[in-house]
């Protein structure tokens, strides 16, 4: 039997006790929504279905905008429909007690960042064709890598920095420099949404150290209704029956997508399914063409693979490092 060392060296150069060596300081300690059973193929199927439903939701968001529905109304009813879904899911999984929290300020910041990101992402769908808005939204993973290195001091090697450069090249190509320029206002809003989404990712990493996933989901669903409710009082108006039907459709599809996204994480790891999110580009292109007759330009199809490729490199690198950290536990067994 090997003698267990008192400390072991981690990939980031720092030393941790053996039991902590496989867990980065920013990794969640509470896994309320962690996979209870591993069925990767089911998890992938659920994730793909979630992307398809999200494509329907964003098409309805864009259609609602064409009917005079303000973006804050779409957001409010989307969140209103999602709250009972979140509560029902927590009850069904036996995690309802996890909503207790001692960090209201952290949840408040997460709400501000989340509502800001959603507002920008929904607005981008109104300002741009769906495929273009989705393409720029993929830059969130690239921004998150930069923010993690700057704010969380995560070690970032040449592979991930190379992916960041590749991703930004893709963004520049998608912007069509020297050609038929894309709507710059819409592109700026979409990239702003990607940046705010990256901020949400960083905030979630911080909160996951002390807050259960159930509390994070519940309090965001609940608290986001406060500023969105005020906005609806200011910008909301009466609509015809067709508009209300569209609002109901986007709210229902958003709730279904939330169920599918959460369910996918119960059957497969994040590393196994996160690359499936890029299938959203296909659904956005199909829905944009079917509903609005939009055909993405050549530069979008050239830039999108670069951005998607950058995100997949980052995802695969994270998966590789996770496996290496797990091997450290095998090398230094406890007991």
Q: What pLDDT was estimated at residue 327?
A: 58
User: Is residue 200 packed enough to be buried (19+ CB in 10 Å), middle (13-18) or exposed (0-12)?
Assistant: buried
pLDDT tens per residue, range 131-185: 889 989 988 888 888 888 888 787 777 877 888 888 888 887 877 754 455 678 8
- Angle among Cα 203, 205, 209 to the nearest 5 degrees reads 115
Is it the case that residue 280 has pLDDT exceeding 50? yes
Establish how many alpha carbons lie within 13 A of residue 310's alpha carbon, considering only the half-sphere containing its beta carbon: 29
Query: Which pair of tokens denotes residue 23?
Result: 């867990």
152/22: higher pLDDT: 152
Weakest-pLDDT range from 193-197, 200-204, 210-214, 323-327: 323-327
Model confidence band, residue 11 (pLDDT cutoffs 50, 70, 90): very low
Q: Which residue has the higher pLDDT, 98 or 125?
A: 125
- Percentage of the chain with pLDDT > 90? 36
How much is the pLDDT for 322?
A: 64
Residue 222 predicted with pLDDT over 80? yes
Three-state SS at 209: coil
Mean pLDDT of 7-23: 41
pLDDT at res. 38: 64
pLDDT of residue 58: 96
Structure-model confidence comparison of residues 312 and 330, the more confident one: 312
How many Å apart are CA 312 and CA 329, to the nearest integer?
Answer: 26
Domain boundaries, the chain: 36-140+184-294
Mean predicted confidence (pLDDT) in 299-314: 80
* DSSP codes joined into one string, 103-166: -HHHHHHHHHHHHHHHHHHHHHHHHS-HHHHHHHHTTHHHHHHHHHHHHS-----HHHHHHHHH
Q: 9 - beta bridge partners?
A: 15
Looking at residue 29, its pLDDT comes to: 42
C-alpha distances (whole Å) from 272 to each of 43, 106, 122, 148, 313 are: 8, 29, 27, 21, 13
pLDDT band at 66 (very low <50, low <70, confident <90, very high): very high
State pLDDT tens for residues 30-59: 444 444 456 778 888 888 999 999 999 999
User: Cβ(82)–Cβ(223) under 8 Å?
Assistant: no
**Residue-wise pLDDT tens digits, 76-120:** 999 999 899 889 888 888 888 888 888 899 999 999 999 999 999
Predicted confidence at residue 33, as pLDDT, reads: 46
Which position has the token pair 């229902």?
252
Give residue 35's pLDDT: 44
Q: Which residues pair with 16 in a beta bridge?
A: 8
**Tens of pLDDT, residues 242-267:** 999 999 999 999 999 988 887 887 77
- Give pTM, 2 decimals: 0.78
- pLDDT of 20 reads 36
244, 245, 246, 249 alpha-carbon torsion, rounded to 10°:
120
CA distances from 254 to 3, 46, 60, 219, 288 (A): 53, 14, 10, 17, 18
């Amino acid at each position: 039997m090997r003698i267990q060392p008192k400390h072991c060296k981690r990939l980031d150069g720092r030393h941790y006790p053996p039991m902590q060596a496989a867990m980065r300081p920013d990794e969640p300690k509470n896994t309320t929504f962690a996979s209870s059973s591993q069925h990767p193929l089911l998890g992938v199927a659920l994730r793909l279905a979630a992307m398809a439903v999200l494509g329907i939701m964003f098409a309805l968001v864009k259609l609602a905008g064409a009917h005079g529905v303000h973006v804050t109304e779409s957001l409010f009813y989307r969140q209103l429909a999602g709250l009972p879904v979140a509560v029902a899911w927590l009850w069904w999984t036996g995690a309802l007690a996890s909503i207790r929290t001692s960090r209201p300020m952290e949840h408040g910041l997460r709400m501000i960042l989340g509502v800001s990101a959603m507002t920008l992402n929904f607005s981008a769908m109104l300002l741009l064709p769906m495929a273009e808005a989705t393409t720029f939204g993929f830059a969130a993973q690239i921004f998150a890598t930069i923010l993690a290195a700057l704010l969380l001091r995560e070690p970032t090697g040449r592979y991930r920095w190379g992916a960041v450069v590749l991703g930004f090249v893709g963004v520049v190509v998608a912007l069509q420099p020297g050609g038929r320029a894309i709507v710059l206002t819409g592109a700026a809003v979409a990239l702003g949404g990607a940046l705010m989404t990256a901020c949400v990712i960083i905030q979630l990493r911080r909160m996951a150290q002390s807050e259960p996933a159930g509390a994070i989901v519940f309090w965001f669903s609940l608290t986001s209704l406060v500023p969105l409710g005020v906005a609806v009082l200011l910008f909301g108006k009466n609509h015809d029956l067709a508009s209300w039907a569209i609002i109901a459709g986007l709210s229902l599809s958003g709730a279904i997508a939330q169920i599918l996204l959460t369910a996918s994480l119960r059957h497969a790891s994040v590393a196994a399914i996160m690359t499936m999110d890029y299938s959203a580009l296909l659904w956005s292109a199909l829905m944009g063409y079917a509903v609005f007759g939009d055909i993405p330009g050549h530069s979008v199809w050239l830039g999108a693979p670069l951005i998607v490729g950058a995100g997949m490199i980052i995802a695969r690198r994270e998966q590789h490092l996770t496996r290496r950290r797990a091997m450290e536990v095998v090398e230094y067994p406890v007991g």
